[in-house]
Amino acid sequence: MNKFLVKLLLIIFFIFQITLVRAHEMWLEPINFVPTINETLSAHIKVGQNFNGESYPYIKSETKSLKLFNQQKIIKLKHRDGDYPAIQSPMKQNGLYVLSYESIPEKVNYENFNKFKEFLEEQDIWNKWSKENPSYINSTINEIYTRYAKSLIQTGKSNDEDFNTQLLFEIIALENPYSAKNKEGIKVLLLYKNKPFANSLITVFNKINNITSKQKIITDAKGEAYIPLKKQGTYLLSAVHFIKNNNKDADWHSLWASLTFEKKQVSTH
């Protein structure tokens, strides 16, 4: 690797870290969610808020796992630091492709407690947290966060479905969002440690023509939720689990799960 590329990656990494502190949300966003066979999948790693953010290249030191599946079989990805878009792979056969990503845990310090409170309020967990942890109120908060992101990409005709890729915190589409029979909506399942995560908030973002809307949906006792797909465009589903950290690196650990797909029906007949 030449010196110029090394310097460029260091600059990108520095900017990436600044953005991470400002925004926890991370998602995978293919340039084309419905590529044709033999077309190259090009997907960005994006960080931001409210489904608006910056695209970043592949950085090995920030990545614990990055996998692409077709029919639940792993397709080997070839990565190099600095790849932009971050994920690139030829689509050699039809079907529903599942892209799965896990980040390396990162740390952030909330010296401004109100910022931390705003984060918990946004995720509808402030009331419960403040009652259970009164001694932490108005103190400096140290947090570690980990991202678990997925994206669904459809090539050609297929009745394939999403599945459990073994992420610690994961959103699974129980129905194919690209199938015409699911044009009104789909069911999803939220898992934590491979078990249904009940009564948890899933924030649903929809973006079309650069206009973003959102709604909040709570999973039922089975960890399932129905996601209406009345609008066209791109969808981002986001869930957060906030827990006490088990080691001395930080007081708290937030886990972020996301799932992206596009509402663009593909005929299965």
Residue 200 lies in a domain: yes
Q: Which of 163, 142, 158, 147 is nearest to 91 (CA)?
A: 158
Q: What mean pLDDT do residues 113-119 have?
A: 90
Q: What mean pLDDT do residues 254-262 have?
A: 97
Residue 269 lies in a domain: no
User: What is the pLDDT, as a whole number, of residue 160?
Assistant: 92
Among the residue ranges 91-95, 106-110, 165-169, the one predicted with the least confidence is 106-110
Q: What is the DSSP letter of 136?
A: G
Confidence of residue 265 (pLDDT cuts 50, 70, 90): low
Residue 268 lies in a domain: no
Write the pLDDT tens digit of every residue in 60-107: 999 999 999 999 999 999 889 999 999 999 999 999 999 999 999 998
Residues counted in the chain: 269
User: What is the pLDDT, as a whole number, of residue 199?
Assistant: 95
pLDDT at 266 over 60: no
Q: What mean pLDDT do residues 30-39 have?
A: 95
Total domains, the chain: 1
Residue 106 lies in a domain: yes
Q: State which residues form the domain around 240.
A: 3-263
User: What is the pLDDT, as a whole number, of residue 46?
Assistant: 95
**Which are the contacts of 239, defined by CB distance < 8 A and separation ≥ 6?**
169, 171, 190, 197, 200, 201, 202, 203, 256, 257, 258
Write the pLDDT tens digit of every residue in 199-217: 999 999 999 988 999 999 9
